[in-house]
């Protein structure tokens, strides 16, 4: 039996208490990202082909909002509302993952960030 959807988009909407050192995707706008995915898929008449679902923690909390698209297993990181339409148009419809949003590329950005300069306290 074929899968019911061509692609399945999982958006981490996990919420942790404020101050938790791991942070969470919910505090970075995950619920708005998920709602916008649903809204845009509906608006385009794509609800039968693609499905957007809330997910629990995908264990990439530092890179949230985290999104993964199956069946290909493409991971996106630091996704914002502005990224939803490009993911739908370029990836879901166009078949080309959005390079700049890929987790592997976002990780490199992080590694290339200059180290924090710490000013020693005045004596």
Both tokens assigned to 36: 């916008």
* Contact between 14 and ligand FES per CB under 6 A: yes
Could you say which of 10, 40, 46, 64 contacts ligand FES (CB under 6 A)? 64
Whole-number Å distance between alpha carbons of 13 and 17: 13
Q: Which member of 35, 57, 90, 93 binds ligand FES (CB under 6 A)?
A: 57
- Note if the bond before 123 is cis, omega within 30 degrees: no
Q: Which of 9, 25, 33, 69 binds ligand FES (CB under 6 A)?
A: 25
Sign, CA dihedral 99-16-58-93, equals negative
Residues in contact with ligand FES by the rule CB under 6 A? 12, 14, 24-25, 57-61, 64, 66
């Amino acid at each position: 039996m074929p899968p019911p959807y061509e692609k399945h988009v999982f958006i981490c909407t996990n919420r942790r208490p404020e101050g938790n050192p791991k942070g969470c995707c919910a505090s970075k706008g995950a619920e708005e990202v998920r709602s916008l995915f649903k809204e845009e898929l509906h608006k385009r008449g794509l609800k039968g082909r693609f499905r957007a679902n809330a997910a629990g923690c995908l264990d990439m909390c530092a890179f949230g909002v985290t999104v993964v698209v199956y069946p290909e297993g493409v991971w996106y990181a630091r996704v914002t509302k502005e990224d939803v339409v490009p993911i739908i148009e370029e990836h879901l419809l166009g078949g080309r993952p959005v390079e700049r949003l890929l987790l592997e590329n976002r990780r490199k950005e992080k590694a290339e960030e200059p180290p924090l300069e710490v000013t020693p306290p005045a004596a």
